[in-house]
Structure 1
Amino acid sequence: MRLTFLMTASIALVIGTSAAAEFTKVDSEAQFVSLISGKELRRPFVKLEVSPEGEISGIGAAWAVSGNWTWREGYFCRDLFWGGDALGYNCQEVQAKDNRIKFTSDKGAGDSAEFRLK
Structure 2
Amino acid sequence: MKSFQLTLAALVLGLAATSVVAEEIEDQQKFIDLVVGKKLVQGETWVKILKDGKVEGQGPKAGDISGTWEWKGRYYCRNINIEEVAMPRDCQVVTIDQDKVTFTHKEGIGVSVRWTIE
Whether TM exceeds 0.5 here: the answer is: yes
Contact in 1 for aligned 2:23/2:97 (Cα 8 Å): yes
Unaligned regions of 5+ residues in structure 2, if any?
1-16
Separation in structure 1 between the aligned mates of residue 90 and residue 59 of structure 2, nearest angstrom: 18
After TM superposition, list the pairs within 5 Å mapping 1:31-50 onto structure 2: 31-50=30-49
Pair 1:63–1:19, CA change in 2 (3 A): farther
Computing the radius of gyration from Cα coordinates, the structure with the larger value is 2
Pair 1:27–1:64, CA change in 2 (3 A): same
Structure 2 residue 113 is the aligned partner of structure 1 residue 116: no
Q: TM-score, normalised by structure 2?
A: 0.81
Q: Which residue of 1 aligns with 2:6?
A: none
Q: CA deviation at 1:38?
A: 3.5
Structure of greater relative contact order (alpha carbons < 8 Å, 6+ residues apart)? 1
Contact in 2 for aligned 1:65/1:82 (Cα 8 Å): yes
After TM superposition, list the pairs within 5 Å mapping 1:1-118 onto structure 2: 20-61=19-60, 62-118=62-118
- The alignment partner of 2:38 has SS state of coil
Task: Calculate percent identity across the aligned residue pairs.
Answer: 25
CA RMSD for the aligned pairs? Answer: 1.3
Please identify runs of 4+ aligned residues in structure 1 that moved more than 2 A: none
Q: TM-score, normalised by structure 1?
A: 0.81
The structure richer in helix per residue is 2
Contact in 2 for aligned 1:23/1:97 (Cα 8 Å): yes
